[in-house]
Amino acid sequence: MVVDDGRVSHVRLRLKGNVNAMIGSKTPMRVNELDVNAIAAGRPTRVVLAAVRIAVGLMWLQNVNWKRPPDFGQASGNGLYQYTADAVKNPVLEPFSWLVTNVIFPNFALFGWGVLIVEFCLGAFLLVGLLTRFWAIIGILQTIAITLSVLNTPAEWQWSYYLMFAAQFVLFATAAGRVAGVDGLLRPRWSLHSGRSARIAMALS
């Protein structure tokens, strides 16, 4: 006799609930109460997570395009220099404006190269899904710096920066590189090793 698995599961859930009620539990926890609120982990969810990760990676790579060495717009007053200067012209947080004026501007070429390298790596690693949680944290920190620079600039849409935060928190919380990413390929291998590098890689992915 073949019994449908779905019906068997339903019967088991009902029996468990009845047993809880019979033994007089004050707050009986039924399995079906947990299942009904479970987050779907099927193919549609996985596809969306992979798409969000790839889109965020492409966003960072596209933003590298206008951060051009060697002076990053300092001589002409545009590009990265213009956006950084907004932190002083339209301050969001006074200590950050002080940092820009007294530390970043005097060393702007070095700062520009740092931003270029970090954002390129950020986009590339998120695009392929490698060490995704670590790079999502870097993305959050970079978004903080961008927000403190341009949030109060006229004509800026503030929600664009809030959405950048949201997207990268999602990548961190879901470890999105495990879906269609390099993390998903390497984590089974890392899990077989007990060395420090393997443990760090597991934590950052």
pLDDT tens-digit series, residues 137-171: 999 999 999 999 999 999 899 999 999 999 999 99
Residue 31: pLDDT band (50, 70, 90) is low
The answer, yes or no, to whether residue 17 has pLDDT greater than 80, is no
pLDDT of residue 5: 44
Q: Indicate whether 20 pLDDT > 90.
A: no
For residue 101, the one-letter residue type is T
- Considering all CA atoms of the chain, what is the largest pairwise distance in Å, rounded to the nearest integer? 82
- pLDDT for residue 64 is more than 70: yes
Yes or no: say if 91 and 85 are a contact pair by the CB < 8 Å rule. no
CA distance 117 to 132: 17
Cα–Cα distance, 84 to 138 (Å, whole number)? 18
Please check the confidence at residue 37 and state whether its pLDDT lies above 80: no
Please indicate whether residue 43 or residue 39 has the higher confidence score (pLDDT): 43
pLDDT digits (tens, 9 = 90+) for 114-137: 999 999 999 999 999 999 999 999
Distance CA(76)–CA(157), nearest Å, equals 25
Q: How many residues does the chain have?
A: 205
Mean pLDDT of the chain: 86
What is the predicted pLDDT for the residue at 34? 56
Query: What pLDDT is stored for residue 50 in this prediction?
Result: 95
The residue with greater pLDDT, 42 or 102, is 102
**pTM for the predicted model, two decimal places:** 0.80
What pLDDT, on a 0 to 100 scale, did the predictor assign at position 32? 59
pLDDT at 30 over 70: no
CA distance 168 to 141: 10
In whole angstroms, what is the distance from residue 42 CA to residue 87 CA?
44
Closest CA to 124 of 146, 110, 113, 139: 139
